[in-house]
Structure 1
Amino acid sequence: MLASAGQGEGGVVLVNAGPGVGRTALLDAFLRKATESGARVCAAAGSSAETEAEFGVVGQLFPPTGPLGAGFRLARAIGSRDAGPGLDADRLFDALCQELRRRPTVIAVDDAQLADAASLRFLRYLVRRLRTAPVMMVLTEPTGPDALPPSFQAELLRHPQCRRLGLLPLSRDGVTQVVSAQVGSDRVPRLAADFHAISGGNPLLVHALLADHRAAHRLSPVPSVPTVPSVSSASSAASASSAASAASAVSAAPAASAAFAKAALAWAYRDEPVLFDVACGFAVLGESATPARVACLVDRGADAVDQVMTALDTAGLLAGGTFRSALVGKALLEHVDVETRAELRRRAARLLHGDGAPATVVARHLLAAPVAEPWAGRTLLAAAEKAMQEGREELSLDCLRLAGQSATTEQERAAVVMARVKIGWEIDPRLVSPWLDELVAALRRGDLRSGDAAWIVKHLAWQDRFPEAVESLSTLAAAGDAGEPGVEAELHFVRHWLRHSCPPLEASVPGPSNPTRPRTPRLRRVSPASYAGEVLGKVLTEGPDDHTVAMAEEILRGCRYSETVVEALEAALLALVYAGRPDRAAFWCDGLLQQAGTRSTGTSVAILSGIRAEIALRQGALPAVEQYARSALSAISLPGWGVAVGSPLAALVHSTTASGMSGVAGAWLNQAVPDGMFRTRHGLLYTHARGHYHLAVDRPAAALDDFLTCGGLAKEWGMDVPTFLPWRTSAAQAQLALGNPGQARALVREQLGRPGGSTARARGVALRLLAATGEPGRRPALLRESVNLLESCGDQVELLRALADRCQALDHVGAPAKARMTARHARNVADACGGDALFRKLFRDEVPDREGDPDGLTGEEQGSASLTAAERRVTALAALGHSNREIGRKLFITKSTVEQHLTRVYRKLGVRNRADLGDLLAGTNLGAGTPAMAMASSAVAG
C-alpha cells in the first residue's frame, strides 16, 4: 500500500484486533519503516480523555504551526459551516493537497474509535477527496463493541483501495521465536508449548510470561527485535489451542506472576468499559460462563457480550467460551475492588442457583461472598456432601463451616451438625464423637428429620455407645413420621444394619425387632442399601443359595463407589463372601477399590480394604490378607474403627497365625479394642481368630472355650451359618487336640447338616476333620474328596492342610508314591499362597526340597519324572478311562505293547492297577501345565 501511495494512488488500511494482540505494535513498526523509506508520517492516537476535545486528533496530525498546518485550519473551516466548505475551505484544501503531493504521506491514527467526532468527520472528508493523492491512511480499532461507528467504516470501505486487516495471535511457531530470543535453547520447546497454551498466543501475555519466567530464574533478557503479530484478512478465523492443552499448561505458569497480572490488567482495563465488565463476568463465572449468564451478571446487552466474546476469542484469550487459562481471570479480578468483586460473586451465586447449577459450583461463589438467604444454607450442605463424594475434603469442610455460621434456627443448626457427622464419618469416624451428643439432644427435641436421624443410631453403635443407640432407636420408632415412605426406608435399612452388625442392640428395641420375619407383602420404597441389608441378613440366618448370590451381584452391578453408601456395598460384598463365593466378591471389591483411585484414606476405603482382607483370607492368600488388612487399619485411625476393628484384626490374626508368626498374631491380639465389640459380628470374627491363635500356640482348652463362645452367640443371634462362622469344625480341631475324637466327630456331623454346610469350603474342611476321627482305611477317600472340594473353592490354606492329612494317610496305608506326589502338590500350593511356614509345620521332617528332586529319589523311584514319552501317553489315556485296545488304536501300537508300558508305569509310580493310577493323578490335581495333562493332550492329538 505504501508503494502504491508513492506512485500517486492513495489507500486506506483499517487494522482491527482483539485486546493485547498488538495492533499498536504493528502500527509503530510500520511507521518506522515508512519513515526509513522517506515517507512523511503524520501520526495521532485517540484517547478517552480527549474524546470531547474538538479537533484533538486533527491537531496531532496537522499541527497548526507545521508545514501541514493548512489541514488543521481546513478542519476548523469545514466544521464551522453546516452547508459544507466555502471559498476559504477550498483554498485551504488546495494548499493541503499541494503540500501532500510533495512526497508520499502516511496519516496514521491509533485507536481511531476514541477520536473526537469533529476529527472523525474531517478524516472522512479526506478519504473522499484524496483518492488520487500519494496519501496512505492507516487507522486501528479494537474488535468488539467499541469499534469505529458503522457509518465511518462504511465510508472507508467505499474507497477502492481500502484494505481491512485482522490481526491474529501468535502461532505456536511465533511463540517459539519469541521465547528462543530470550531463553536458552534447551528449554525453548517446553516453554513455548506451555506459554502458547496459557496465553493462546496473545503477544502481550507471552511477553509477560517471559518476564515472569526470567524473574523467577534470574535470567537476563537477550536483545531481540520487536515481534509483531501475524496479519490475516478479516474473514480468517482465529486459531486457538484446545482447552485441554491450556488446562494442562496452567501448572507450568511462572512462580512470580507480577508481569502476567499487569498484562491482564493492561488489555482489559483500557478505554473500553464494556470489554472490562464482560471480561470480569467471564472471570467470575469461569466454566459456568455463557453469553446469557454473563449479560445478566454484568448488566450488559447480549449483543455487547457477543461482540466482546468475539474480541476475546480472536485475541486467543477464550477457549470453549471460557478463559483459556484460569490465571488470566484470576489476575483480572485481583484489580477489581473488594466490594465490587463481592457483589459480582453474590450475583453469580443467585444467578447460578436460579439456573439449577450444581451445588458445588454455587458454593464456590457463596464461600467468596456469603448470601443471607434461606437457600444458601441448603446449597452449602448439598455442596459439602457432593464435594466429599468427589474427594475434595477441603471444599467440603469449608462449606460446612460457612453453613454453620449462617444457621439461625435450631433445625438449621441440627442439619449442619448432621452433615458434619456424615462427612466427618467418611473422613474418619473418630471426628464425629464431639457432635453426637448435640445430635442426640436435637433428636430428643424433635429438631431432626427421622430419616436423617436414623443414621445417628449407626454412629452411636459404631462408637460403642449402645445405651444411647437403643434410646435413639426407640425414639425414632415412636416418632410420628416413622411411617412415611422415605423415613421408613431409612429406618428399615438401619435395622437391617444393626441386625447383621450389632444383633443384641437391635433385638433390645421394641417394635419390629426381626425385620426378616414373614409379613404381608406390600408396596414400599426401597434402596440399594435396603436390598443389600436384606440379602446379607438372609445369608446369615438361612444360609446361602443361588438367588441371594444373584441378588447381591445385581446390587453391585448397579452401584458405584462415589454414588452409593458404603454400608450397601459392604452388605452386598459380605453376602457374596458368606455365601461361599469369595471369587465373585473379590471381583466386585477390586473394581470398587479401583474406582476409589489414588485415595488411600477415608472410611469407605478402610471398610472395602477390610472386606478385601476377609475375602483373601477365605481364598487362603496369606500375603494379600496382611496387605489389605494393614491398608484398612491405616486408612483411618484405630479409635475411628470403633467396634468394627474386630474384622481387620481378625484377618491379621488368622493370616499371621497360619504363616507361623504367632508372636505377631499375639501382638495384634494385644491391641486395645472396645468392650462393645464383643457384642457385634466383628467380635465373633475376632474371637474365632483368637481361638485359632490359641490352637497354634498349643492352648486347645482356651481355643475350645473361644469357639464354643462363638457358637453360643451365633445361635443366640440367629447367625449360625458355617459359611459365615465355621465354629463347629474349629471346635472339632480343639477337641482332637484334647484327645476327644468322638466329640469332634459329633461337631463335624452337626455342621454338615447346617444350612450352608454343604458348600465346597465348609464341606471340604468338615471331611478333612471327619477323616481324622475315622478309621485309617477310610481316610484317603474322604481326604481325596476334601482336596477336590477345597481346590474348587480356592482356599489354599485349607487345601494345604487337607493335602498334609492325605499325605500322612496315604503313607499310613502303604502308598508311598502317592504320598510323595501329594507332598509335591502341597509344596506348590504353599509356594502359591505364601504358606511356607505352615507347610513346614504340617510336614515336619518330610519337607521336600525345592531344588532338584523333591524327595532325593533316583531312577525309577522318581515317579512321573522317570516316565518315557511313550509311557506318558499310555498313562494319560489310561487315566482318562480308555481300554488297552482303545489306547493301542489311538497310539497305533499293539495291545501287548500297551500292557508292557502300563506294567512299567505301575512299577515306577508305585501303584498296583489302573484304578490306583486314576486315584494318583486325581489326588495330585495335576493342572493344565503338568506332565499328566500334557501327556493327555499329546496322546489325544496323536
Structure 2
Amino acid sequence: MNLLERDGELARLCGMAADVRRGVGGVALVSGPVASGKSALLHAFARRLAGGPAAHPARQRLPGGGPAGLLPGGPAVLLAATASRAERPVRLGVVRQLLAAAPLPAPARARAAALAASVAPDARVDAVVLHELGGLLLGLSRRGGLVVLVDDVHETDPESAWCLLFLARRAVAHGVLLVLADRSPTPAPHPRFHAELRRRPDLAQLRLAPLSPAAARRLLADRGVPTAERFVTRCHQLGGGSPALVTAVADDLAQDDGDGSLPTYRQALLHCLHRSDPEVVAVARALAVLPDGAPTQTVGALSRLDGHAVAAALRALAETGLVHGGGFRHPAARAAILDDLGHAGRADLRRRAAGLTPPGAPDDGPTGGPGGGAGGRSGDAPGAGPGDAPGVRAAALSAAERRVGALAAGGLSNREISRRLHVTVSTVEQHLTRVYRKLGVRRRGDLPGRLRRDADPPRRPSGTPPDIPRTPAAGPVP
C-alpha cells in the first residue's frame, strides 16, 4: 500500500527515534480503523530506521516478518513483531517473536528460551518470569537504544501485553521507543493494558485520519485516469477515505470495462471485513440481507447482537469506510458480501430474516431475480404471486427502485440498466424483485402500465371540495 498523507506521522516517529539515540525513550500509539495504513506506516518507519530498502538486505526483515538487527548509523537495536487473532491463545507469542530476532548473547538467549519453555499452557504465569523476560529485552537498550514495533497490538496475548507494559513503564529512562499499532474504534480485548497506556503523560497518540480527495486525485493520476472532479469525487466517496478502498476504486476506474462491477473494490472490501471483529462481520452480513433503512433492532435480531454491540459494529463499519448513513456506499459492497456468504449461508440468513422484515429484501445471489439471467428482458418475479400484497403505489418505491423500474419499463435489459446506472447486474435484479413485489406485478411487460397508472393523480369523487393548497417551504424546488 502506498504511504499517502502520512508524512507528519512518519516525521514524528523519526523524531522520537532520534531522541532514543540521545538516551530518551518514549511510547507511541498509532491508531486507526481497519486498513487505515497503520502497518504501512510502521513498515515505512522501519525502513527509514534501517537506512532504506538497500541497506543490509540480508538482515532487513520488516514488520510482519520479524525484523531485527543493529541499525546503521548507530548501535540502536530494532525489533518488531505482529500479533494476530489466530495466535492470541499462544502464551508469550509476541514476546517470543521479539526474542527470536533479538541480538542476545548466547547465555541470555538460552535463559530466554528456558523461561519461555517454563510457561505451561494452562498454568498461571509467574510474574517473576514475565519480569525477567522483560528485563532481557530491556537490556538491549544498553547498546545505545532500543526500538520495538508491534503491529496489531490489540491482538496481543495477555502475557505479552504485560511484558510490553513492563517496557513502557521504563521506556523514557532507559532509551526505549515502543511503537504500537492499535485498531479503533472496536473495544479492546485487554482493557487494563489500554487504560494504562493511554493514561501515560508521555504517550504520543498518532490517530490516522481518512485520506483527502487530494490523495484520490494523486492515485488516479498515477494510474492514468482522468482527474476530472467527478472521477475524484467518485473515487474518494466510494473508498470512504480508507487507503485500501480508495486505492482499489482507483484501480477499478483505471481498468473500467463499462460494467461497473468494481472487482478490485469488492476484493478489498472483503479483505477489510474479514480483518474485523466477528460482531462487525455479522452486522455487515445482516445489512446485506436486509432492505435499506432496516431498524437497528432488526439488525440486532438478525445478527444476534444487542443494541450496544450493533452500534459499535456500525461505528466500526463507518470508520473503515464500508458504510455511510447506515447503508453501503455502493451496491457492489452488498453483492460482494452476499457472494462471500455462499448459497447455503445466504439461504440460512434469509430464512431468519424472513420473519423480521416484510417482503422486499434483496434477492438471493448474483444470478437470481427477475429477467431470467444477467441480460434478460422478460421474466416472472421469483416469489411474486398471491402471497404478495398487490396495490402498493409507485410512490412507495425508493429512488433507486423507481430508476431501475422506469428503465426496465422502457425496454432496457438488466445488463443495459447496470451499465447505465454503473451498478452490478445483481443489483438491478434485486431492485426489480422489490419493484415487482411492491407493485404486485408478475411480468416485466406489466411494468409500463402499472407505473403509468400510479403516476396519474387519483380521481376525486364528485362533490368533494378541492384541497387547500399549502404554501411550499422555502428553498430550492426538488
* TM-score under structure 1 length normalisation: 0.36
Distance 1:421 1:328 in 2: 30
2:232 corresponds to which letter in structure 1?
Answer: A
Matched, 1:176 2:176: no
Q: Distance in 2 between matches of 1:97 and 1:300?
A: 43
CA contact (8 A) 1:21 1:315 kept: yes
Report the Cα offset of residue 195 of structure 1.
0.2
Residue 329 of structure 1: CA displacement? 2.8
Aligned to 1:49: 86
Corresponding residue to 2:30 among 2, 6, 15: 15
Aligned counterpart for 2:49 among listed residues 13, 31, 34 = 34
Which residue in the other structure is 2:116 paired with? Answer: 76
Measured at CA, do residues 329 and 34 of structure 1 come closer, stay the same or move farther in structure 2, by a change above 3 Å? farther
C-alpha distance in structure 1 between counterparts of 2:36 and 2:148, whole Å: 22
Is contact 1:64–1:72 with CA below 8 Å preserved after alignment? Answer: no
| Structure 1: distance between partners of 2:101 and 2:224 | 48
Aligned counterpart for 1:531 among listed residues 452, 461, 470: 461
Q: Where does the alignment leave 5 or more consecutive residues of structure 1 unmatched?
A: 218-252, 354-361, 405-414, 430-526, 536-550, 559-594, 598-942
1:278 is aligned to 2:283:
yes
Conservation of the 8 A alpha-carbon contact between 2:362 and 2:433: no
Q: Is the 2:397–2:435 contact (alpha carbons within 8 Å) kept by the matching residues of 1?
A: no
Give the 3 Å change call, closer, same or farther, for CA 27–171 of structure 1 in structure 2: same
Q: Deviation per CA, 1:148-174: give whole Å up to 9, x if none.
A: 421110122243321222212101122
- The CA distance in 1 between the partners of 2:47 and 2:31, in whole Å, is 20
2:232 aligned partner: 192
Deviations along 1:815-853, one digit per CA (max 9) or x if unpaired, are: xxxxxxxxxxxxxxxxxxxxxxxxxxxxxxxxxxxxxxx
Distance 1:17 1:428, change over 3 A: closer
2-structure distance, mates of 1:182, 1:400? 39
**For the residues of structure 2 that align with 1:331 and 1:30, how far apart are their CA atoms?**
34
CA apart distance, 1:386: 5.7
Structure 1 segment 451-490 matched on structure 2, within 5 A? none
1:498-542 Cα distance to aligned partner (Å, 9 max, x none):
xxxxxxxxxxxxxxxxxxxxxxxxxxxxx974624xx6xxxxxxx
1:204 counterpart residue number: 244
CA distance, structure 2, for counterparts of residue 421 and residue 256 of structure 1 = 27
Mapped partners of 1:261, 1:396: distance in 2? 19
Query: Is the 8 Å Cα contact of residues 362 and 431 (structure 2) preserved in structure 1?
Result: no
Counterpart among 99, 112, 115 of residue 153 in structure 2: 112
Instruction: Output one character per residue of 1:677-700: Cα deviation in whole Å (capped at 9) or x when no partner.
Output: xxxxxxxxxxxxxxxxxxxxxxxx
Distance (whole Å) between structure 1 residues aligned to residue 459 and residue 349 of structure 2: 42
1:123 positional shift: 1.7
For residue 200 of structure 1, what is the amino acid of its counterpart?
A: G
Rounded Cα–Cα distance in structure 1 between residues aligned with 2:431 and 2:313: 35
Q: Structure 1 CA distance, aligned partners of 2:46 and 2:296?
A: 38
Matches within 5 A, 1:323-402: 323-353=328-358, 362-365=359-362, 379-383=388-392, 392=405, 398=433
Closer, same or farther in 2 for the Cα pair 1:428/1:57, shift >3 Å? Answer: closer
Q: Does 1:322 align with 2:337?
A: no
Query: Do the aligned partners of 1:284 and 1:348 also contact (CA within 8 Å) in 2?
Result: yes
Kept after mapping to 1: 8 A contact 2:293/2:326: no
Residue 214 of structure 1 corresponds to: 254
Cα displacement (A) at 1:319: 2.3
Matches within 5 A, 1:120-269: 120-145=161-186, 147-183=188-224, 186-187=226-227, 189-216=229-256, 255=260, 257-269=262-274
Q: State the alpha-carbon separation in 2 of the partners of residues 10 and 74 from structure 1.
A: 29
CA gap of 1:289–1:3, structure 2 versus 1, over 3 A, is farther
Deviation string 1:885-940 (CA, Å, 9 cap, x unpaired) is xxxxxxxxxxxxxxxxxxxxxxxxxxxxxxxxxxxxxxxxxxxxxxxxxxxxxxxx
Alpha-carbon separation, structure 2, partners of 1:105 and 1:396: 58
Contact 1:79 1:118 in 2 (8 A): no
Q: Which residue of 2 aligns with 1:98?
A: 139
CA-based RMSD of the aligned residues comes to 4.3
Q: Distance in 1 between matches of 2:357 and 2:92?
A: 47
Instruction: Identify if the C-alpha distance between structure 1 residues 212 and 367 changes in structure 2 by more than 3 Å, giving closer, same or farther.
Output: closer
| Secondary structure of residue in 1 paired with 2:39 | helix
Aligned residue pairs total 385
Displacement after TM superposition at 1:383 (Å): 4.8
SS of alignment partner, residue 173 of structure 1? helix
What is the distance in 2 between the residues matched to 1:62 and 1:134? 18
CA distance in 2, matches of 1:127, 1:347: 48
Instruction: Describe the SS at the equivalent of 2:50.
Output: helix
The higher relative CO (CA closer than 8 Å, separation ≥ 6) is in 2
Please state how far the C-alpha of 1:183 moved relative to its aligned partner. Answer: 2.0
Contact 1:385/1:423 (8 A) holds in 2: no
Report the AA paired with residue 128 of structure 2: P
Structure ID, larger Rg = 1
Q: 1:330 to 1:78 in 2, by over 3 A?
A: same
Name the residue aligned to 1:307: 312
State the identity as a percent: 27
> Whole-Å Cα distance in 2 between the matches of residues 555 and 34 of structure 1?
79
Distance 1:329 1:397 in 2: 16
Query: Which protein is richer in helix relative to its size?
Result: 1
| Aligned residues of 1:78 and 1:89 also touching (Cα < 8 A) | no
* Alpha-carbon distance between aligned partners in 1 of 2:238 and 2:431, rounded to the nearest angstrom: 29
Paired residues for 1:428-447 under 5 Å: none
Contact 2:322 2:329 in 1 (8 A): yes
What stretches of structure 2 of length at least 5 have no aligned partner? 1-15, 52-70, 370-382, 409-429, 470-476
Give the letter for the 1:155 counterpart. Answer: E
169 and 400 in structure 1: CA distance in 2 versus 1, 3 angstrom threshold: closer
* Inter-partner Cα distance in structure 2 for 1:270 and 1:344: 21
Offset, 1:274: 1.8
Deviation at 1:263, TM superposition (A): 0.4
Residues 350 and 396 of structure 1: is their aligned pair in 2 closer, same or farther, counting only changes over 3 Å?
same
Evaluate the alpha carbon distance shift between residue 85 and residue 207 of structure 1 in structure 2; reply closer, same or farther with a 3 A threshold: same
